[in-house]
Amino acid sequence: MSDQELWQKLYAVTEKELADGPGCHDFAHILRVLHNAERIAESEKVDHLFALRVGALLHDIARPEEQRSNGTVCHAQIGAVKAADVLRQCGCTDEDLIQRVSDIVRAHRYRGNIPPETIEERIVYDADKLDSLGAFGVARSFHFAGRIGARLHNSREAALNSEAYSREDTAYREYLVKLRYLPERMLTETGKKLAKRRSEYMHNFFDELEKEALSLE
Ligand SMILES: [Fe+2]
Ligand SMILES: [Fe+2]
């Protein structure tokens, strides 16, 4: 089977799997991450471009399982196994490709345990983080806050002294506690550059929001 045929099958499976996903993590997120990964790959020395593209496509393939378990299973861990299963079900017999993709999926949610190592793993990690920054990052933060029933906005103090998933877990809190630190966590030079630009936009947005909010007092 050609790469193109395999790609079309995997694309269709992923689109179907994530069709009912929430707006911040649906198939459109996958397409943005894929685009980001391809953009980063243009300026980095990649070993296996097809593995990178398939890894980006399948990186959140187990989101539905994580959601159904209310977060008790990690979509990166079970996604690594599911991605290999999906590849085999689509007719892939290239064990090297299956292993590479599985590793990319497992590493994309790096939170202090095993860091992404290969260039493909680092690129998908960065590509995913980039979608949390910039205008889409702002949009996704508000979308997520809305889904968990948080306020539209709160003060810096309220945001910083609140719990995750509370009414005070606003987009602003997400920015203050997590998103503003993302640029320094990027793992490729190109990812760092892109993140810096997107982060500046995000900083300006929340700065402006804060100014408007303070002017009401
Ligand atoms: Fe993910
Ligand atoms: Fe993702």
The CATH number of the domain holding residue 138 is 1.20.58.1910
Distance 135 CA to ligand 2 centre (A): 16
- What percent of the chain is modeled with pLDDT above 90? 89
Distance 159 CA to ligand 2 centre (A): 25
Distance 109 CA to ligand 1 centre (A): 6
Distance 186 CA to ligand 2 centre (A): 15
Looking at the fold, whether 28 and 82 belong to one and the same domain comes out as: yes
Distance 217 CA to ligand 2 centre (A): 38
Q: Which bound ligand lies closest to the C-alpha atom of 31? A: 2
What is the pLDDT, as a whole number, of residue 188? 97
Distance 25 CA to ligand 2 centre (A): 7
Looking at the fold, whether 101 and 151 belong to one and the same domain comes out as: no
Is 39 domain-assigned?
yes
Instruction: Report if pTM > 0.85.
Output: yes
What is the pLDDT, as a whole number, of residue 71? 81
Q: Is the pLDDT of residue 60 over 80?
A: yes
Looking at the fold, whether 44 and 137 belong to one and the same domain comes out as: no
Query: Residue 3 is part of a domain; what is its CATH number?
Result: 1.10.3210.10
DSSP class of residue 44?
S
Looking at the fold, whether 108 and 7 belong to one and the same domain comes out as: yes
| Lowest model confidence (mean pLDDT) among 23-27, 129-133, 170-174, 182-186 | 23-27
- Surrounding residues of ion ligand 2, Cβ less than 5 A: 60, 128
Q: Looking at the 3D structure of the chain, how many domains does it have?
A: 2
Mean pLDDT for the chain? 95
Looking at the fold, whether 75 and 14 belong to one and the same domain comes out as: yes
Is 182 domain-assigned?
yes
Is 124 domain-assigned?
no
Rounded average pLDDT over 192-199: 97
Q: Which bound ligand lies closest to the C-alpha atom of 109? A: 1
pLDDT band at residue 110 using 50, 70 and 90 as cut-offs = confident
Q: Is the pLDDT of residue 217 over 80?
A: no
Q: Is the pLDDT of residue 36 over 70?
A: yes
How far is residue 185's CA from residue 175's CA, in Å, rounded to a whole number? 14
Helix 49-58 vs helix 27-42: crossing angle, to nearest 10: 160
Looking at the fold, whether 19 and 70 belong to one and the same domain comes out as: yes
Distance 11 CA to ligand 1 centre (A): 17
How far is residue 113's CA from residue 149's CA, in Å, rounded to a whole number? 31
Q: Is the pLDDT of residue 111 over 90?
A: no
- What percent of the chain is modeled with pLDDT above 70? 100
Following CA atoms 82, 33, 104, 174 in sequence, which dihedral angle do they give, to the nearest 10 degrees? -90
* Higher per-residue pLDDT: 31 or 164: 31
Rounded average pLDDT over 5-27: 94
Domain that holds residue 80: 1-112
Looking at the fold, whether 188 and 93 belong to one and the same domain comes out as: no
Q: Is the pLDDT of residue 84 over 80?
A: yes
What is the pLDDT, as a whole number, of residue 112? 63
pLDDT band at residue 122 using 50, 70 and 90 as cut-offs = very high
Distance 211 CA to ligand 1 centre (A): 33
- In angstroms, what CA-CA distances link 207 with 155, 183, 203? 12, 18, 6
Looking at the fold, whether 22 and 83 belong to one and the same domain comes out as: yes
Q: Is the pLDDT of residue 200 over 90?
A: yes
